[in-house]
């Protein structure tokens, strides 16, 4: 016996399900984490721009060149550790976009449409 199709309300967070992740969901998660990592790198970059280059990595032109890579690695580590929730919203939105809204075959009073 098949139950009614579950369709989330527009704008409502998707319910958490414990279904086994398939290859498509794993790919969606990977891409969402990658996007969150890029987002975090853009947010972290201004924090490091104001630092003097004589400290963290020894200073000079070398540190100036490699600092963006360090910021990128920090962002990747934060995203892998759970991030700030951007990836979760992207996953929820992509899953919501993939759901198909099924029109009910009966009205609430039981009459056929």
- Strand, coil or helix: 112: strand
Tens of pLDDT, residues 2-48: 545 555 556 655 555 444 457 788 888 999 999 999 999 999 999 88
Tens of pLDDT, residues 42-98: 999 998 887 766 655 566 777 778 888 999 999 999 999 988 999 999 999 888 887
Beta partners for residue 112, in sequence order = 106
- C-beta of residue 42 within 8 angstroms of C-beta of residue 92: no
């Amino acid at each position: 016996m098949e139950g009614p199709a579950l369709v989330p309300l527009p704008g409502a967070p998707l319910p958490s399900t414990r279904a086994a992740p398939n290859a498509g969901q794993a790919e969606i998660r990977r891409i969402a984490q990658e996007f969150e990592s890029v987002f975090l790198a853009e947010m972290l970059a201004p924090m490091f721009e104001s630092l003097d280059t004589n400290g963290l990595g020894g200073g000079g032109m070398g540190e100036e060149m490699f600092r963006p890579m360090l910021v990128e690695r920090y962002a990747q580590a934060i995203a892998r550790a759970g991030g700030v929730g951007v990836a979760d919203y992207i996953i929820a939105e992509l899953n919501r976009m993939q759901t198909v809204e099924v029109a009910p075959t009966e009205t609430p009073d039981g009459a056929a449409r």
